[in-house]
Structure 1
Amino acid sequence: MAEKITTYYSYVLALTIILLLFGLALGPLAPIDEPTYFPGYDLQIPVGLSFSGFILLIIFIISVILFWGSKNIFLNVLIDASSLSFSIVNYINFYLVYVIWKPIMYLLPFFFYIRYDGISTLVFDFGQIALIIFFYRLYKNIKTRRTYKSV
């Protein structure tokens, strides 16, 4: 049984890499007019990464809504891989925000507290939700030693 779980998560990692490459390839398609407002910063990379994260978030939400509870291995791999790929891009994006503007950032449960130039805000963190779903499914798969039907 452990072999089936490790094989399943090797598929998840492979599809995560494919989804990351797909999402990052769509990043340059993001419409950007920030250089007119922030002439001192090159925001093409963070805006493109945010756009990639949005695409991966949409893939994650749609796959969870449509395919949760499916016995098909590919659909379950898609749910887990989309959650991982979105979380990776999400936290890289928060890191870039930190590197570019140097705000004060605190990771809170389900939120990021960001303080910049005297202004504070709470930003809802979808990456934590995606990671919670991923680890819940991982725990459930290990506990029940679930096997999926092949495609």
Structure 2
Amino acid sequence: MAQKITTYYSYVLALTIILLIFALALGPLAPIDEPTQFPGYDLQIPVGLSFSGFILLIIFIISTILFWGSKNVFLNVLIDSSALSFSIINYINFYIVYEIWKPIMIILPFFFYIKYDGVSSLTFDFGQISLIIFFYRLYKNLKTRRTFKSV
């Protein structure tokens, strides 16, 4: 039985929510030694979000490498929802970091320019890569009006 695009993306949104809940539940398991380095800040939330984002990034990378081009609905939903969930956690984490330290943050293509206390850094943004892949797959699916086979 073939699936319509709207049904497919409703599955993507549902799995995105499930992946977000799963990853956020694992966030408190992040090893944290920052209280000894930064005693004035409670860094459990940004470190936990970074850990959750890392888990989602690994799921995204592995699912993309292993299942790209699959005709299976679940595997394609996994690729798209892991890309979307990682991007959401990634940008929430950047926002939390901004709220804690108030650095100068500029979004560039594929990078974040961050300047804090006279130190500048250029941070590669995997969130943009995952969003590009997500929107590429969305465009490709809409353009071809692709249907997916069930399991």
Q: Give the 3-state SS of the residue equivalent to 2:114 in structure 1.
A: strand
* 1:30 to 2:30 alignment: yes
Give the 5 Å matches for 1:78-97.
78-97=78-97
The residue that corresponds to 1:72 in the other structure is 72
- Counterpart of 1:53, as a letter, is G
1:43-76 alpha-carbon deviations (Å, 9 max, x no partner): 0010000000000000000000000000000000
Give percent identity, aligned residues only.
87
* 1:5 to 2:1 alignment: no
TM-score (norm 1): 0.98
RMSD: 0.7
Q: Give the 3-state SS of the residue equivalent to 1:85 in structure 2.
A: helix
Find the aligned partners of 2:71 and 2:80 in 1 and give their Cα distance.
Answer: 14
* Residues paired across the two proteins, number: 149
Q: Give the 3-state SS of the residue equivalent to 1:16 in structure 2.
A: helix
Pick 1 or 2: higher relative contact order, CA cutoff 8 A, min separation 6: 2
Give the 5 Å matches for 1:35-46.
35-46=35-46
Runs of 4+ in 1 over 4 A off after TM superposition: none
Find the aligned partners of 1:85 and 1:25 in 2 and give their Cα distance.
Answer: 14
The residue that corresponds to 1:115 in the other structure is 115
Find the aligned partners of 1:33 and 1:63 in 2 and give their Cα distance.
Answer: 31
Give the 5 Å matches for 1:125-136.
125-136=125-136
- What residue ranges of structure 2 are gaps of 5+ in the alignment? none
Find the aligned partners of 1:37 and 1:12 in 2 and give their Cα distance.
Answer: 40
Find the aligned partners of 1:37 and 1:16 in 2 and give their Cα distance.
Answer: 34
The residue that corresponds to 1:148 in the other structure is 148
Shift in Å at residue 34 of structure 1? 0.3
- Counterpart of 1:64, as a letter, is T
The residue that corresponds to 1:60 in the other structure is 60
Find the aligned partners of 1:22 and 1:59 in 2 and give their Cα distance.
Answer: 12
Find the aligned partners of 2:37 and 2:4 in 1 and give their Cα distance.
Answer: 52
- What residue ranges of structure 1 are gaps of 5+ in the alignment? none
The question of whether the paired residues in 1 share the 8 Å contact of 2:15 and 2:81 is answered with yes
